[in-house]
A = this chain, B = another copy of it.
């Protein structure tokens, strides 16, 4: 199978350093930071970055996939142990907090298609889980039946955008609004 020998030590070091720096930079400054800048801050050349990650998208996927897998696992956990509405709102809140803490993730969640594409490559269909939990929570009558998945995505993105201000008020507005009037 693997007729490829292990990569050189310095190559592994550089790869890890690039990942580390890129994760921090994307989180604090967003996805629009140039690759050159990431290379500079990591103390390597741009060639080193683009060899390990041929494309900026590849770099992004490498950073996000582990996180997406973790969040998906959390979604499954919630779906198993909680009733639909509790699970849905817990996942929603969890995603919002993750996005609020990571500028890059928030941007990803904002542009509908991108997050799904990356999740698919990582084998973690987080969006699908959210979709299912929404449907279940609507079926059980706890969430308004007229909102669509796209509405949820938009609201989630709006909550994530609150970077500095406290999240609680806007989260309360949205979750209250989503609950079916009794």
Which residues of A are at the interface with B, using a C-beta cutoff of 8 A? 144, 146-148, 150-151, 154-155, 157-159, 161-162, 165, 168-170, 172-178, 181
Contacts and interface: CB of A to CB of B under 8 A. Distances in A.
Number of copies of chain A assembled together: 2
A28 to B, nearest CB: 18
Contacts of A176: 176-177, 181
A148 B173 CA distance: 11
Contacts of A151: 162, 165, 169-170, 173
Contact of A174 (B148, B177, B181): B177
A177 B143 CA distance: 13
Contacts of A144: 169, 172-173
A178 B169 CA distance: 9
A165 B150 contact: yes
15 contacts: A144-B173, A147-B169, A148-B169, A150-B162, A150-B165, A151-B165, A151-B173, A154-B159, A154-B170, A155-B173, A157-B158, A157-B161, A173-B174, A173-B178, A174-B177
